[in-house]
Amino acid sequence: MKGMAVNGFRAGVAALALCLLPLVAQAQGAEVAFGGLQHDSTLPVEVTADQLRVDQADGTAVFTGGVVIGQGTMRLSADRVLVNYAAETGDSTGRIERLHATGNVVLVNGAEAAESQEAVYSIDAGTVVMTGSVLLTQGQNALSGERLVVDLARGTGTMEGRVKTIFQSGGGE
């Protein structure tokens, strides 16, 4: 059921991008405002998945199968997420330091959504770096590239790597 929802979301994003093809601008890099992606990274992180494997020796946990991570209004879903815990004097503090998501990655916050092949969320830095065929939608506008760096505290981001921007012209038929 979760897979169908993600596939439906992806199909909707693809259909939206096709509908917006009349107005296209291309560039090598683009800075983007992410008002909806402004986020408080100090909120608790909730993770659900089909399976969990914990390795106390290296302070990691691996969630697999329909992984959904929530923090405030932000949601990150993926096939697999590696969690690195912060350590002090060699011992894990139990505080999540970094999340590395792979496979069918989707980041949603408000009306903005981004999908990619991989994402790294550095919680202390408050950044999400998405790589591999990134597609960002903001309302009726779409932006694609190879790498998206989001600063959650500032609500800004930078898309890099043969950026393609699609803006809705606002004109009617």
Structure confidence by residue, pLDDT tens digits, 69-121:
998 888 999 999 999 988 776 666 678 899 999 999 999 887 789 999 999 99
pLDDT at 90: 65
Contacts within 8 Å (CB) and 24+ apart, 62-66: 66/2, 66/3
Q: Is residue 171 part of a domain?
A: no
Tell me phi and psi for residue 95, to 5 degrees: -90, 130
Q: Which domain holds residue 17?
A: 2-166
Given a contact cutoff of 8 angstroms between Cβ atoms, the answer to whether 9 and 131 are in contact is no
Q: In Å, how far are 40, 62, 68 from 50, measured between CA atoms?
A: 27, 11, 10
How are the residues of the chain apportioned to helix, strand and coil, as percentages rounded to the nearest 5? Answer: 10, 65, 25
Domain annotation covers residue 14: yes
Beta-carbon contacts of 8 under 8 Å, excluding residues fewer than 6 positions away, are none
Answer whether residue 153 is part of any domain: yes
Residue 97 lies in a domain: yes
Q: Does residue 35 sit within a domain?
A: yes
Contacts from 23-26 at CB under 8 Å and sequence distance 24+?
23/166, 23/167, 23/168, 23/169, 24/164, 24/165, 24/166, 25/164, 25/165, 25/167, 26/162, 26/163, 26/164, 26/165
- 129 lies in some domain: yes
Q: How many domains does the chain have?
A: 1
Q: What is the CATH number of the domain that holds 87?
A: 2.60.450.10
- pLDDT confidence of 59, banded at 50, 70, 90? confident
Q: Tell whether 172 is covered by a domain.
A: no
Return the minimum-mean-pLDDT range out of 31-35, 45-49, 66-70, 114-118: 31-35
Considering the entire predicted model, what is its pTM? 0.74
**Domain assignment of residue 107, yes or no:** yes
